[in-house]
């Protein structure tokens, strides 16, 4: 763990002077930038004017920049002296700053960036046939293409000019003011009137086609590479409705001049909430016929939610990242509640609560975590579902109306400003009239979650929140638990306040029935029952409730039962609710092949897909193979065909079929990856041969990345270094996805001879490559000893 550079400032004396950082001593007011690029060289040339208001008496100011070549700097048009100190660009002011004086610091620069801006060649942009150039700032990568203040706590208005070849479109933040034609170049001029954190500044450029909608007067657009407009509409169409819903739910109207989305290749994330100009992975696009098996709604809903949570109000520093990511995970539930109903909503909420639990299991830390190595280390299961799950707990405590009133107040009071966890809770306490201090401390400042053990013995129910796992410290939560018992065909409702490590309840007659603790999913907990609930218990409770939250809780419990498949077969045939029917279809066991074959023709494509998938986990019969072959040969969705293919390969181990799949195109090139995975499990020689071919540039990035990953699991033949040589070569590949996956594959391959090649990446700007490279070196060096 390292302290952050900004914190090091006060300790500078203890460290080498070269790394002493200048404190942030100004208010950033405006960032006015111009950029041009050369796609053959992967280079940029830029010019940015940062308008700042320095603290009274400041003699130097510092911006962030990473590995750029600074050509010149002026302060209010007079040339200025500067020095580069690590990732700080320190500019000497011509005279000590006077109170309230604003200065224009203009920086001209060139660069060949490894991060921040990405050049994607058309061969790497599949399914696009055109190239693209785009930026990605979060967390702290804006500095690799734009020298400015690059931490989230200081917001500025933004004006961008992107110089592109004629025929390109360039999307950026805010409103398009004009497009200037300069010979065979066009300059796109965008302006954002509202202040934002600089990690949200972005552009995307390339041959793009536009699709457009409106919500009232607000343009809601999407831009996809030329030729993919129907795919763009499938993925991003209907976004205007979502803008409307979030405006209504939050009570804060969408605050900017437009909402737009683009799709780009070789993107390191699913999507990025760049303000008014969301960048999405090109893998979100799909041909319309693939719906509903392919669906981008949740990606759109997440990035759109960030326009309020993250962009309008921003975490003051990354330790409060849940304010961005927790809310962006929380908001989509309310779209689904309206459009897919209460059952969908409650089941999604249960999954988010589960995600929050596993987030803590995977990375035990307080929600407000001030120690990390790189900011992205805490963009984890705590920040995303963990943050969302805690908002459900809070909403249950203060009531829904009050909760939304509080959110509305928070958004209004901190609009265009940074905020902290304390800011949020101060607003919530004020609006709800409740003292939320203990809640805030327990759920946000201590590590761990309530892990409940429920023991039923005689008529006594004992609930304890003790941690009995070695190395896991005790944590205490105040929980007002509901306890429901199904007794004699009727539900009985009881309360069990748990304000200590343990509490008991006398069940009386209800001890004869089934007992559920926290039936309505009020809390983010894990509950272990002793004795364990059986499938008969779950069956009885399911058939006596249609309450969506209780059903979601029962689905959660059923998921942990060894005989969940058999239980599901008892419930599924009689289930009439279409949501639960679809949900259950994924948990059926493979031992009813005739019924499953029939379900592969279900009018709900998701049920049909689940059935085809489950058939592959059982034993083979001629009827199953015949039906799956029918789907593989004539199914109309590639996604369905791929599931059938995978099941067939599992059942038949038929190499000839895998060879056929290897020759078959699909919209996302999935069949080849499935074939390759089959060979990796069943015929390593053939897998090696195909994977070595699949990494070639004539193949799609989807396949190439999968093939590199699979090569890491394979070994070279004795005396050969083909696999090793290929993996090492990809450590310097121009593709970022391929390079990133090669780092992991080299580590898995396990030959310490790769260390010198990995060492070239330990200073790489893109942390998704640099940090895994360091870990791989550590692992391989261990193997050597």
Compute the least distance from the CB of residue 303 to Zn ion, in Å: 7
Find the residue with minimal CB distance to Zn ion.
328
Q: Residue 271's beta-bridge partner residues? A: 280
Quote the tokens at residue 108. Answer: 């001209």
User: For the window 68-107, what string marks contact with Zn ion as x by the rule CB under 5 A?
Assistant: ----------------------------------------
Phi, then psi, of 151 in degrees rounded to 5: -135, 160
Give which of 203, 261, 225, 276 is closest to 46, Cα–Cα. Answer: 203
Burial of 222 (0-12, 13-18, 19+ CB in 10 A): buried
For Zn ion, the closer of residues 304 and 454 by Cβ is 304
Compute the least distance from the CB of residue 302 to Zn ion, in Å: 6
Compute the least distance from the CB of residue 150 to Zn ion, in Å: 19
For Zn ion, the closer of residues 151 and 325 by Cβ is 325
Compute the least distance from the CB of residue 381 to Zn ion, in Å: 13
For Zn ion, the closer of residues 280 and 700 by Cβ is 280
∠ CA 331-219-269, rounded to 5°: 50
Compute the least distance from the CB of residue 237 to Zn ion, in Å: 22
For Zn ion, the closer of residues 35 and 328 by Cβ is 328
Q: With H, G, I as helix, E, B as strand and everything else as coil, classify residue 576.
A: coil
Compute the least distance from the CB of residue 246 to Zn ion, in Å: 14
Q: How far is Cα 486 from Cα 494, in angstroms, rounded to an integer?
A: 11
Give which of 588, 521, 606 is closest to 556, Cα–Cα. Answer: 521
Q: How far is Cα 250 from Cα 406, in angstroms, rounded to an integer?
A: 10
Compute the least distance from the CB of residue 388 to Zn ion, in Å: 11
For Zn ion, the closer of residues 311 and 325 by Cβ is 325
User: For the window 629-668, what string marks contact with Zn ion as x by the rule CB under 5 A?
Assistant: ----------------------------------------
Compute the least distance from the CB of residue 422 to Zn ion, in Å: 22
Q: With H, G, I as helix, E, B as strand and everything else as coil, classify residue 111.
A: strand
Compute the least distance from the CB of residue 251 to Zn ion, in Å: 22
Q: Strand pairing of 277-281 and 259-264?
A: parallel
Long-range contacts of 750-753 (CB under 8 A, 24+ apart): 750/780, 750/783, 751/724, 751/780, 752/780, 752/781, 752/783, 752/784, 753/724
In contact, 485 and 512? CB cutoff 8 Å: no
Q: How far is Cα 263 from Cα 280, in angstroms, rounded to an integer?
A: 5
* Half-sphere exposure of residue 635: CA atoms within 13 angstroms, side-chain side: 24
Q: How far is Cα 772 from Cα 368, in angstroms, rounded to an integer?
A: 24
Q: Where are the alpha helices (DSSP H) in 364-432?
A: 387-398, 400-413, 421-432
For Zn ion, the closer of residues 307 and 585 by Cβ is 307
Q: Where are the alpha helices (DSSP H) in 653-700?
A: 655-662, 670-682, 684-694
Q: How far is Cα 278 from Cα 306, in angstroms, rounded to an integer?
A: 10
For Zn ion, the closer of residues 325 and 669 by Cβ is 325
Q: Residue 135's beta-bridge partner residues? A: 117
Compute the least distance from the CB of residue 325 to Zn ion, in Å: 5
For Zn ion, the closer of residues 127 and 355 by Cβ is 355
For Zn ion, the closer of residues 150 and 325 by Cβ is 325
Compute the least distance from the CB of residue 305 to Zn ion, in Å: 8
Compute the least distance from the CB of residue 372 to Zn ion, in Å: 17
Q: Is 301 in the site for Zn ion (CB under 5 A)?
A: no
Number of chain positions touching Zn ion (CB under 5 A): 2
Compute the least distance from the CB of residue 369 to Zn ion, in Å: 17
Q: How far is Cα 436 from Cα 181, in angstroms, rounded to an integer?
A: 57
Q: With H, G, I as helix, E, B as strand and everything else as coil, classify residue 490.
A: strand
Q: Where are the alpha helices (DSSP H) in 697-751?
A: 701-713, 722-730, 736-749
For Zn ion, the closer of residues 254 and 523 by Cβ is 254
For Zn ion, the closer of residues 300 and 608 by Cβ is 300
User: Please, which of residues 13-52 interact with Zn ion by CB under 5 A?
Assistant: none
Q: With H, G, I as helix, E, B as strand and everything else as coil, classify residue 180.
A: strand
For Zn ion, the closer of residues 292 and 362 by Cβ is 362
Q: Residue 451's beta-bridge partner residues? A: 526
First to last CA, the chain: 25
User: Please, which of residues 308-327 interact with Zn ion by CB under 5 A?
Assistant: 325
Q: Is 328 in the site for Zn ion (CB under 5 A)?
A: yes
For Zn ion, the closer of residues 269 and 493 by Cβ is 269
H or E element at residue 567: helix 564-571
User: For the window 114-133, what string marks contact with Zn ion as x by the rule CB under 5 A?
Assistant: --------------------
Phi, then psi, of 628 in degrees rounded to 5: -65, -35
Compute the least distance from the CB of residue 139 to Zn ion, in Å: 11
For Zn ion, the closer of residues 298 and 716 by Cβ is 298
Burial of 253 (0-12, 13-18, 19+ CB in 10 A): middle
Binding site for Zn ion (CB under 5 A): 325, 328
């Amino acid at each position: 763990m390292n302290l952050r550079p900004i914190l090091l400032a006060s300790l500078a004396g203890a460290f080498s002077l070269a790394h002493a950082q200048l404190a942030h001593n100004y208010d950033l007011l405006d960032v006015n930038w111009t950029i041009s690029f050369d796609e053959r060289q992967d280079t940029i040339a830029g010019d940015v004017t940062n308008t700042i208001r320095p603290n009274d008496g400041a003699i130097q100011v510092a911006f962030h920049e990473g590995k750029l070549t600074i050509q010149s700097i002026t302060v209010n048009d007079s040339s200025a002296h500067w020095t580069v100190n690590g990732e700080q660009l320190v500019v000497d002011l011509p005279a000590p700053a006077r109170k309230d004086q604003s200065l224009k610091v203009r920086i001209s620069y060139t660069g060949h960036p490894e991060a921040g801006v990405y050049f994607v060649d058309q061969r790497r942009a599949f399914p696009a046939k055109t190239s693209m150039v785009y930026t990605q700032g979060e967390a702290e990568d804006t500095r690799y293409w734009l020298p400015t203040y690059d931490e989230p706590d200081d917001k500025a208005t933004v004006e961008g000019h992107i110089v592109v070849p004629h025929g390109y479109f360039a999307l950026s933040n805010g409103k398009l003011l004009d497009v200037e034609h300069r010979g065979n170049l066009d300059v796109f001029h965008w302006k954002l009137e509202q202040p934002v954190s600089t990690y949200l500044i972005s552009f995307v450029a390339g041959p793009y086609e536009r699709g457009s909608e409106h919500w009232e007067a607000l343009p809601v657009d999407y831009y996809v590479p030329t030729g993919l407009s129907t795919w763009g509409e499938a993925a991003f169409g209907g976004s205007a409705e979502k803008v409307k819903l979030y405006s209504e739910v939050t009570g804060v109207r969408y605050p900017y001049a437009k909402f737009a989305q683009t799709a780009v290749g070789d993107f390191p994330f699913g999507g990025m909430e760049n303000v008014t100009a969301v960048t999405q992975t090109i893998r979100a696009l799909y041909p319309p016929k693939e719906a509903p098996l392919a669906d981008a709604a949740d990606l759109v809903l997440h990035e759109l939610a960030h326009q309020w949570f993250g962009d309008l109000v921003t975490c003051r520093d990354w330790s409060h990242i849940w304010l961005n990511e927790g809310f962006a995970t929380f908001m989509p539930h309310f779209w689904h509640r309206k459009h897919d109903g209460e059952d969908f909503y409650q089941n999604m909420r249960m999954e988010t609560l589960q995600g929050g639990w596993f987030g803590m299991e995977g990375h035990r830390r307080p929600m407000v975590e001030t120690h990390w190595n790189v900011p992205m280390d805490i963009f984890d299961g705590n920040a995303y579902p963990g943050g969302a799950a805690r908002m459900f707990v809070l909403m249950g405590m203060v009531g829904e109306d009050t909760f939304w009133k509080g959110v509305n107040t928070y958004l209004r009071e901190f609009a265009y400003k940074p905020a902290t966890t304390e800011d949020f809770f101060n607003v919530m306490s004020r609006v709800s009239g409740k003292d939320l201090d203990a809640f805030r401390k327990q759920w946000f400042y201590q590590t761990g979650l309530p892990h409940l053990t429920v023991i039923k013995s005689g008529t006594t129910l004992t609930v304890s929140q003790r941690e009995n796992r070695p190395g896991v410290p005790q944590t205490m939560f105040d929980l007002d638990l509901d306890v429901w018992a199904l007794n004699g065909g009727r539900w009985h409702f009881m309360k069990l306040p748990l304000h200590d490590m343990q509490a008991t309840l006398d069940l009386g007659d209800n001890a004869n029935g089934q007992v559920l603790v926290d039936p309505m999913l009020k809390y983010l907990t894990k509950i272990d029952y002793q004795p364990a609930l059986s499938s008969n218990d779950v069956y009885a409770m399911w058939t006596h409730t249609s309450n969506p939250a209780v059903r979601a809780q029962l689905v959660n419990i059923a998921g942990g039962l060894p005989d969940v498949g058999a239980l599901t077969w008892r419930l599924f045939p009689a289930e009439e609710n279409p949501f639960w029917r679809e949900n259950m279809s994924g948990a059926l066991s493979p031992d009813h092949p005739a019924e499953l074959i029939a379900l592969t023709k279900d009018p709900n494509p998701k049920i049909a897909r689940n059935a085809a998938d489950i058939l592959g986990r059982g034993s083979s019969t001629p009827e199953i193979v015949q039906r799956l072959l029918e789907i593989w040969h004539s199914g109309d969705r590639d996604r369905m065909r791929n599931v059938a293919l995978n099941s067939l390969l599992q059942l038949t181990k038929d190499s000839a079929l895998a060879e056929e799949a290897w020759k078959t195109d699909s919209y996302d090139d999935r069949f080849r990856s499935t074939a390759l995975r089959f060979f990796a499990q069943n015929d390593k020689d053939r897998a090696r041969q195909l994977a070595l071919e699949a990494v070639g540039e004539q193949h799609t990035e989807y396949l190439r990345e999968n093939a590199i990953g699979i090569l890491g699991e394979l070994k070279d033949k004795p005396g050969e270094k083909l696999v090793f040589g290929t993996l090492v070569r990809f450590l310097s590949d121009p593709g970022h996805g391929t390079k990133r996956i090669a780092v992991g594959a080299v580590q898995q391959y396990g030959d310490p001879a790769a260390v010198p090649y990995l060492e070239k990446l330990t200073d790489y700007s893109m942390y998704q490559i640099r940090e895994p490279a360091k870990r791989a070196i550590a692992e391989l060096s261990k193997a050597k000893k």
